[in-house]
Amino acid sequence: MSSNPVAETVASLMPRARAELTELVAFKSVADFDQFPRSESEGAARWVADALGAEGFQDVALLDTPDGTQSVYGYLPGPDGAKTVLLYAHYDVQPPLDESAWTTPPFELTERDGRWYGRGAADCKGGVIMHLLALRALKANGGVPVHVKVIAEGSEEMGTGGLERYAEQHPDLLEADTIVIGDAGNFRVGLPTVTSTLRGMTMLRVQVDTLQGNLHSGQFGGAAPDALAALIRVLDSLRAEDGSTTVDGLAPETGWDGLQYDEEQFREDAKVLDGVELIGSGTVADRIWARPAVTVLGIDCPPVVGATPSVQAGARALVSLRVPPGTDAAEATKLLQAHLEAHTPWGARVRTEQIGQGQPFSADTTSPAYAAMADAMSVAYPGQEMQYAGQGGSIPLCNTLAALYPHAEILLIGLSEPEAQIHAVNESVSPQELERLSVAEALFLRNYAAG
């Protein structure tokens, strides 16, 4: 990489990048203002706005989005007639969870064993820094050859959709020829990866009622219908014997033909206990990227401590269904509701309530932007070829942007590889990945402009 002036510039900027990421990680920018002060998120937003202003961005603005948070926007004009590229990241972060379980404080960037630890270091404050590094490297080596729009979201982790609604209300704002979402990650450290599909999701609350009130389990148990038992039975109907998801009418047997995920490696990444089997059938990639997956997220019922010998009159659960590309999330929601109603035993009363939904996403990997990125990544990662992976999670904004700008090409890259442990305690980023991906993004912008 050293013979490349862009790579040399990025390498020289890494101490500054670390100092900036330290400042940005220090903001406790969790977009849940019952848990963390709004001033922390506003401080992080101002930091991003000031950084864009210092790089010569115009029209820098803190956008008040409908969910009560701020997204940061800026526009950097390029040469006349150049293409426009939108660079996305988010500055909000997941809560730190149990702060005492962190080896070092979650909001202090700390170097350990060659990685930088801190909440948001990879997801996605590091993504903000990646975009800045790429642009600085181009400015130092002949200039930025495209028009650049940057958008840094303030509530991505909360899923409250503020930026999605704002974009729909201001459809010209984020319009671009190509969109780089800096919120995904390489399949492994050192293996350059674009994420070409995302599963969508739907969430349902299901309530089962059988009696007007709880009953003595000795006096009535055996004949009185138990709502908790009915709920357990209906939830169990969502899985086949091998653990595969089975929702009536939902096609389960799609496959994944891109990068494969070694089963032993998956066991290690997922920290599966010795002797416990993986669930489902087909390859691991089929199961986590190309097929539906149901998860029971929570059950309301009496806790074990303090429980009385009672037949339960009512019980409820929160169920999520991840929806693969090719399946409409709204249709999947209807199928899941119908399945829950059809499989509730003993004539028990069942009610379902939808509380969230996002569509799956699939990119056109044959487009020119993908060729430009493949070339850039092969230079930034010598000896490696760009890989295509799926992601089991959802980024609803991708679908909003794809719907608003059907001609735009969308690429997903980022710093959230498995060792980063995003959303968990001891989140970290690999500075080597930050450096190489910043080089890749800079070279991509140059390739794309020339294409």
Contact 435, 191 (CB under 8 A): no
Q: Which of 156, 183, 226, 433 is catalytic?
A: 156
- Whole-angstrom Cα distance, residue 50 to residue 71? 13
- Whole-angstrom Cα distance, residue 5 to residue 295? 48
Contact 6, 12 (CB under 8 A): no
DSSP assignment string, 117-135: ESTTTTTTHHHHHHHHHHH
Q: Which of 20, 40, 55, 92 is catalytic?
A: 92
Kindly state the DSSP code that residue 410 receives in the 8-state scheme. E
Whose CA is closest to 228, among 303, 333, 339, 295?
303
Kindly state the DSSP code that residue 99 receives in the 8-state scheme. G
Which phi and psi angles does 440 have, rounded to 5°? -60, -45
Known catalytic membership, residue 92 = yes
**346 Cβ neighbours under 8 A, 6+ residues apart:** 210, 225, 230
DSSP assignment string, 283-330: -HHIIIIIS-EEEEEEEES--STT--SEE-SEEEEEEEEEE-TTS-HH
- Whole-angstrom Cα distance, residue 313 to residue 212? 6
Tokens of 67: 């969910």
- Whole-angstrom Cα distance, residue 291 to residue 279? 13
Residue 1 to residues 202, 262, 377, 406, Cα–Cα distance (Å):
44, 29, 11, 36
The residues assigned a catalytic role are 92, 156
